[in-house]
Chains A and B, each alone.
Chain A
Amino acid sequence: MRFAMGSSIDQRATYLQLQKAANQKLQDLYAKDLHFELDKINEPILWVKNMPNLFAVICYLQTDEIFKINYLSDLTAYDNIDHIDGDKRFVLVYQLLSLETKVSVRLKLLIDDSEDAKTISHIFPAANWLEREVFDMYGIVFRGHPDLRRIMMDERFIGHPQRKEYDIKQRMPFADNMKTNLDRNPVP
């Protein structure tokens, strides 16, 4: 833990022992099939292979005693256009947390441009808008989502802004809907 004052925080933060035990358990269980690594502050990252694998892992994490995952912190994606992390175009990132044992896990999934991902909004309803944002910004389609449409940009927007090939200054404004209201009382 690198937060402050050397290693004094390591002894007093009790969740760190549980986190270490959790990391060890994940490594024992999954290191043979899936790729497991630790990030800079010793949080576990587990690379899952495909969507059924993701659901199986989440099911296991929800029921196991050390984990008891019940909270979705964040759902996001990033662009893997230089293929450093794998063969496919995008990486989906799921950040999970347990409110009882205070343990956190990060799951990552490689997904291609032409593939569809499957929604997890039936397990974590908080994923509804988060997946809409990933669709808006990257163009990853989530099958089974109740209401997949753009959330940040206008519905008529063309393009997915967060992709690496989208230029940051390429604007597309819309005022088509204004004419219908103001035609009746044109104000100079």
Chain B
Amino acid sequence: MKKTIKETIKETIKESKNSVDYKNITDFYNPNILINIGPSHPATHGTLRLMCQLNGEVIEDTKFEIGYLHRGKEKLGEVKTYHQWFVYTDRLNYCSALINNIAYAMTVENLLEISITARCMWIRMICMELSRIIDHIICVAINALDMGALTIFWHLYRWREEAYTMIEGMCGMRLTTTYARIGGMFYDVPEDLHDNLKKFCERFPKALDEMETLLTTNRIWIDRTKGVGRLSKEDAIKYSTSGPVLRASGVDFDLRRDRPYYAYADIDFDVVVANNGDVYDRYLVRTEEMRQSIRILKQCSKHLQSANGPLWVDDRRVFIPDKIDVYTKMEVMIHHFKIFMEGIDVPPGENYTAVEGPNGEVGFYIVSRGGPKAWRLRIKAPSFLHFQMMENTIKGVKIPDAISILGSLNIIAGELDR
């Protein structure tokens, strides 16, 4: 006769009642074990803490804890001037630092009611699309790495280095660029940027094709990612997700097409929408978005080659002069001194500007009461809302599936905790 596990245990306990503590054994058969996928873990990208109540390998209940990287940037926005705060924008979504720079510059330019020149606008669009590509590369590579597919990481990181070389040619730094300025850009682009972009746009789609042969029709990848972490359309809107996560769930919304800024209304590109909302769909959406970004890059490069106007806007309040003029002419030196020591005088008002970042909607809300420093500087980070969405929709999922969902959401701790 087959006995259950509990019955056999009770028999063995009856036999050796003196040596075994009855209470301790049955404690181990309590289905709810609390574990910590802790702040230092190879699969949590950055410092996230998932406290899970497990029943075997299924997560019954979770609470997430964040704040392990809270550096107080919003408070720093009230202490530093508008120019000095540019440095902190890179450290928000550090995989695509240029988009944060440009979004912040856009917000302050809206407060000052400045419209930038055409040349500056095309450079900014090139920067944004290039950072979108490198952020999506990181997301796909790390997602695959968590599930054991290391080859993708080695393959794709080489293209990140090519993009980094181009970005370094533009502004001097690979990761924390601080390239945009209020009213213009820090440097003009180098002469070989268009050749490098052309080579990148020719070779990168082929590398993407090669990567897709490894993943898209791979039986193991499909089994591990299809149907995992399914997010319905209503849930995606309820929890305020944005970006590829929202589009993979079937909602056709892209800030570049629906609330266009700069010249996105003129450029041909497609918005990628998928149906199911699982990890496989997010991977497909990101891969296809990389191809669309290449398309946008080609068009922007052509436009930039023909836009030969000035880089800086012709506004006395924000114009940063060239160093040659600063060292030779008196008025220019005083102007330079005033801009950097006192700051820009921004008139009172407020503004919320949102930009389509690779993770979602990156927004800056600035309240100004006049003067060189902001009164309130709020950063709207998409990873914050995505992580909250994950806390609410992860019940009943096994641990390895939870890790792959975490990888597909592209949670970046710098943005989450600010």
Contact = CB atoms under 8 A, between A and B. Distances in A.
Complex: A in contact with B (CB within 8 Å): yes
A126 B75 contact: no
A27 interface: no
Contact of B240 (A4, A15, A41, A124): A124
Given A4-B115, A168-B79, A71 B349 contact: no
A166 B351 CA distance: 25
Interface stretch (A6-14, A52-60, A175-183): A6-14
A152 B71 CA distance: 10
Interface stretch (B7-15, B258-266, B324-332, B406-414): B258-266
A2 B315 CA distance: 14
Nearest to A41: B110
A133 B375 CA distance: 18
A154 B118 CA distance: 47
Contact of B263 (A5, A6, A102, A168): A5
Interface-centre pick from A3, A13, A128, A130 (highest chain B CB count, 10 A)? A3
Contact of A106 (B75, B240, B352): B352
A71 B66 CA distance: 24
Interface stretch (B54-62, B376-384, B396-404): B376-384
Interface in A63-93: 70-74, 76, 78-79, 82, 84, 93
Nearest to B68: A152
B262 A4 contact: yes
Interface in B300-353: 349-353
A61 interface: no
Interface stretch (B19-27, B151-159, B282-290, B360-368): B360-368
B67 interface: yes
Nearest to B367: A78
Nearest to A43: B352
Contacts of B392: 125
B12 to A, nearest CB: 30
Most buried by A among B79, B106, B350: B350
Counting chain B residues whose Cβ lies within 8 A of the other chain, the interface size class is: 35 or more
B385 interface: yes
Contacts of B95: none
A72 B388 CA distance: 14
B74 to A, nearest CB: 6
Contacts, number: 125
A5 B237 contact: no
A124 B253 CA distance: 18
A4 B75 contact: no
Interface string B244-286: 0000000101000011111101100000000000000000000
A33 to B, nearest CB: 22
A162 interface: yes
Contacts of B376: 78-79
B115 A6 contact: yes
B79 A152 contact: no
| Interface SS, A side | loop
A152 B351 CA distance: 25
A2 B354 contact: no
B380 A74 contact: yes
A151 interface: yes
B41 interface: no
B70 interface: yes
Contact of B352 (A72, A74, A151): A74
Interface of A: 2-6, 9, 12-13, 15, 39-41, 43, 45, 70-74, 76, 78-79, 82, 84, 93, 95, 99, 102, 104, 106, 124-126, 128-130, 137, 150-154, 161-162, 164, 166, 168
Given A9-B260, A40-B351, A161-B72, 20 more contacts: A2-B110, A2-B115, A4-B121, A4-B261, A6-B115, A15-B258, A39-B349, A39-B351, A40-B110, A41-B351, A70-B237, A78-B367, A95-B380, A99-B237, A125-B392, A126-B239, A126-B388, A151-B66, A153-B67, A153-B70
What 10 pairs across the A-B complex have the smallest Cβ distances? Answer: A126-B240, A78-B376, A152-B67, A12-B265, A152-B70, A4-B121, A129-B388, A74-B380, A102-B258, A76-B378
22 contacts: A4-B262, A5-B118, A9-B260, A13-B259, A15-B258, A39-B351, A40-B111, A41-B351, A43-B352, A73-B361, A74-B365, A74-B380, A95-B365, A104-B259, A106-B352, A124-B238, A129-B384, A129-B388, A137-B74, A150-B67, A162-B74, A164-B78
